[in-house]
Amino acid sequence: MTENLAKKELQDGKAVLGIEFGSTRIKAVVIGSDHTPLAQGSHDWENRYENGYWTYSLEDIWAGLQDCYRDMAAEVKEKYGVTVTSFASIGFSAMMHGYMAFDREGTLLVPFRTWRNNTTGEAAEKLIALFDYNIPERWSVAHLYQAMLNGESHVASIDYVTTLAGYIHWKLTGERVLGIGDASGMFPIDPVSKDYREDMVKAFDDLAGGMGMGWKLREIFPAVRCAGQAAGVLTEEGAGLLDVSGALKAGIPLCPPEGDAGTGMAATNSVAERTGNVSAGTSIFAMIVLEKNLSKVYPEIDLVTTPSGSPVAMVHANNCTSDINAWAGLFREFAEAVGAKPDTNQVFTTLYEKALEGDADCGGLLSYGYLSGEFITGLSEGRPLFVRKPDSTFTLANFMRAHLFSALGALKIGMDILEKEEVQVDEVLGHGGFFKTKGVGQRLLAAAMGTDISVMETAGEGGAWGIALLASYLVNKKEGETLEAYLSDRVFAGMDKVSMSPDPKDQEGFKAFMESYRAGLPIEKAAVEHFA
């Protein structure tokens, strides 16, 4: 898109805004009618571990959103000389799952409990038995039921339970709705009705009623909306919350708020059967759109949906790049101590590329980047851990390779289950920070999964762009045009991508690393037990 056309679309309110709340960054992307980014904004933030829970405060949420929007608006002003007053549509997405519970006055009853918490094991186990359906510890219904089992007094006062994206959308539009992909991380979804599973809703209501709860699940959970369905408009109050300068006008339509899994699928055109993607950042998860149901319930496999409601097998690991980021910070600190002045990108690029020089099996080094617990490997808490034997080959290249391989370890355990289930996938696309350094994360993931991995030019920053695409679909779709067709024909047609096949030597090295990874898990468990 030419600069003049971009300026006109921004002036006329024809551009589309997408904002995603990631684990470490809130990002805004403005796209034009050709779906290409015109401007961006961001705000760095971090979760806190308080009173036994990973959380973000409401102050963090709103200050971060407003700063992110302000940063985007400043870039629009600088690049195009335009003061933003309107958009064709807006979309919000955020980390899936978790627990935000409010009373009738809209007061948050307990601090936001994020997806990162592994505190609902008892509830998840009992709900799996009740539903004969996998309910991961991250899911909102597991958090709700665990609070009930704990006898927490606030549950009797609940009027609304939602996710982070649903909360933002509610405050900006007044609508208590949620995109079906995000909703599928709150409660099981019926792929036919595109709504919560009615048999399971009834079972949970009976359970809650027996515990003296005065509400029904559908009364306190958001209504489910599929991509392209109306989800409300920006109110005057909402416009003021988003843009504290007062320039933004009310009345802008918003698409259904989605989770980061759904935006990852949209951003990689992985919404049709036999497509898949891997999102790798603070956490890592693989999403494979299913042709058929799995043969049985697997605790390691979530069943969620695409933004249009198709069933998806999801393998989610809580930990991916957090420990790598911490080591990169340490190496940068050393570089600065000896007088070097590397920027952050240079540090990460150097360390990632160094990993490709290491021994295929990491020279006998082992690491666990468990900043938090990891359900797939049976740990409710984490302790970042690096281990080597006296005869290990301790080099920087092997050190980094071990950490990058470790970031894929828990994911691999879950993917092995899908392989046994003979789940078919034609192509897997990678996106997220793990893939920012060209060719490194992509090559190692290909070795881990044993399949071709493709990466698009949007690989490093897909989520905010993904929700912008869903917001664009809301207002630009043709009559009867499916999300799958919209993305394939109007967004991704002709878009360049780079594919990489597994290197046999890397595959053998990763296999050897995984043998050590599995065998060494008792070391990680001992660290949790003895290093409190």
| Cα distance between residue 115 and residue 99, in whole Å | 8
Of 355, 328, 357, nearest to 343 by C-alpha is: 328
The pLDDT value given to residue 461: 52
Strand partners, 92: 19
The pLDDT value given to residue 386: 98
HSE on the CB side for 125, CA within 13 Å? Answer: 7
The pLDDT value given to residue 494: 80
Q: Which residue has the tokens 């991704």?
A: 492
Of 209, 188, 208, nearest to 197 by C-alpha is: 188
In this prediction the pTM is 0.85
What angle, rounded to 10 degrees, do the helices at 58-80 and 3-11 form? 130
| Cα distance between residue 5 and residue 12, in whole Å | 10
The pLDDT value given to residue 458: 58
Strand partners, 48: 55
Contact between 248 and 229 under an 8 Å Cβ cutoff? The reply is: no
Q: Per-residue confidence of the chain (532 residues) as pLDDT tens digits?
A: 899 999 999 999 999 999 999 988 999 999 999 999 999 999 999 999 999 999 999 999 999 999 999 999 999 999 999 999 999 999 999 999 999 999 999 999 999 999 988 899 999 999 999 999 999 999 999 999 999 999 999 999 999 999 999 999 999 999 999 999 999 999 999 999 999 999 999 999 999 999 999 999 999 999 999 999 999 999 999 999 999 999 999 999 999 999 999 998 999 899 999 899 998 988 999 999 999 889 999 988 999 999 999 999 999 999 999 999 999 999 999 999 999 999 999 999 999 999 999 999 999 999 999 999 998 999 989 999 999 999 999 999 999 999 999 999 999 999 999 999 999 888 899 988 899 899 999 999 999 999 999 998 755 557 899 999 999 999 999 999 999 999 999 999 888 889 999 999 999 999 999 999 999 999 999 999 999 8
**Where does 197-282 show beta strands of DSSP type E?**
223-225, 258-259, 275-280
Helix H or strand E encompassing 238? helix 236-242
Please tell me whether residue 159 adopts helix, strand or coil conformation: coil
Nearest 10 degrees: CA dihedral of 396, 400, 403, 408?
Answer: -150
